[in-house]
Amino acid sequence: MSRTLKAPARFETEVKKSRFLALAERCPSEQNARDFIERIKDPSATHHCWAWRSGQAYRFDDDGEPGGTAGRPILAAIEHQDLDEVAVVVVRYYGGIKLGTGGLARAYGASAGDCLRHAETEPLVAMAAMHIGLPFDLIAIAHQLLDRHQANKTEERYTSDGVELFVDCPRPTAERLRQELKDASGGQVRFRSG
């Protein structure tokens, strides 16, 4: 089973007077990764090299370093730790001494690898998206069942005939949640696609 980050991680090291700050965060989508990268950008840094992986999708960027010396070694560190839904940014503060292509690849890869090795991880649980419609008087019961099944409500909309909940539920318990909602509502709950 794949693993992902339980919490953001950070690791800092110095190589020949250049400071390398590796930051890692769980990012299920490429947009999450790009938002993370923008959020941590430091104008005083020389480079913000990064890699992201989620399932079969991946991206990486050398941010001005010679091709293949930063993004790819960061991605290799993610893959070596067998992590998924993860982005790692290695911020470099240039110290005045050139490292060469081999030195850069080792510095970026080692920074990312050390950051991920020290990070707290957890099993990655596949989620099922659910769209649930129910009368107003069942909202409290629905929230209790969502909590019991560790489902995350992503959106709640009020309509003329009740409430619509958009939920991400761990796939192994999705069918049980669906059945318990039906039972608790006497069949009044509606499940929609999309």
Identify which of 18-22, 142-146, 177-181 has the greatest average pLDDT.
Answer: 18-22
The pair of three-digit structure tokens given for residue 27, joined into one six-digit string: 């990012």
Give me the pLDDT at residue 128, please.
Answer: 82
How many structural domains compose the chain?
2
Whole-structure pTM value: 0.69
CA distances from 184 to 158, 173, 177 (A): 20, 16, 10
Q: pLDDT > 90: what percent of the chain?
A: 60
Span 65-114, pLDDT tens digits = 999 999 999 999 999 999 999 999 999 999 998 999 999 999 999 999 99
13 vs 155, residue with greater confidence: 13
Angle at alpha carbon of residue 84, lines to 25 and 11, rounded to 5°: 35
- 105 and 186 in a single domain? The answer is no
Give me the pLDDT at residue 83, please.
Answer: 94
Q: What is the CATH number of the domain that holds 62?
A: 3.30.230.30
Helix (H) or strand (E) holding 34: helix 30-40
- 138 and 51 in a single domain? The answer is no
First vs last C-alpha separation in the chain: 28
Alpha-carbon dihedral 71, 93, 107, 73, rounded to 10 degrees: -10
Q: What is the mean pLDDT of the chain?
A: 91
What SS3 state is found at 89?
strand
Q: Is the pLDDT of residue 1 over 70?
A: no
- 173 and 131 in a single domain? The answer is yes
> Which residue reads 């839904």 in tokens?
85
Residues of the domain holding 85: 3-123
* 148 phi/psi in degrees, rounded to 5: -60, -35
Q: Is the pLDDT of residue 134 over 70?
A: yes
- 14 and 97 in a single domain? The answer is yes
Give me the pLDDT at residue 193, please.
Answer: 62
Of 46-50, 52-56, 92-96, 120-124, least confident by mean pLDDT is 120-124
Taking the CA atoms of 13, 15, 17 and 22 in sequence, report the sign of the dihedral they define: negative
**What distance in Å separates the CA atoms of residue 64 and residue 71, rounded to the nearest whole number?**
10
Length of the chain: 194
Give me the pLDDT at residue 103, please.
Answer: 94
